[in-house]
Amino acid sequence: MIEAAIAVPLFIILVSSIIQLGFIANSYVQMQDAVRFAAREMSVGRVTSGGGVYTNTCASASGQAATTAQRVVCDQVSALPGNFSVVADQNASGASLVRLTIPLNDLLFFNINFLGGGGTLTAEASYGNEES
């Protein structure tokens, strides 16, 4: 009985950690797909950078036209929980950069501040103009 009292909590922590890591990995894949798509669309001229940083679950991008990179990213990651920020930039030669950042604690089931803070999960993609 004592063995079960020790083993069961450890097993529950292990299983919940595996589930948590799977959820974070899935969120990262969604984020990476969204920024890659937005950067590609920006580099070929289908969307503009829109300027600025959009935060708070993309609420500030809701008034933006669907032709801004921030709005494209926000539409694709709207199912993710928490507050996130989207930065899009394009230089004069047409190279584009899109970055999406989410605080890790917003994605977690448990608060991990006791481990020294949660950090952030960041996905970034850039595409260059292929014309020389």
Taking only the tens of pLDDT, the chain with its 132 residues reads: 788 889 998 998 888 888 888 888 888 999 999 888 888 888 777 777 766 555 545 655 555 556 777 778 878 887 787 778 888 887 776 678 888 888 877 777 766 555 555 678 888 888 876 554
Q: What is the pLDDT of residue 32?
A: 93
What distance in Å separates the CA atoms of residue 105 and residue 90, rounded to the nearest whole number?
A: 30
120-127 β-sheet, strand order: 53-54, 85-90, 96-103, 120-127
Q: How many CB atoms lie within 10 A of CB 75?
A: 14
Q: Give the pLDDT score at 132.
A: 43
Instruction: Annotate 64-76 with three-state secondary structure.
Output: CCCCEHHHHHHHH
AA identity, residue 31: M
Say what the pLDDT of residue 114 is: 53
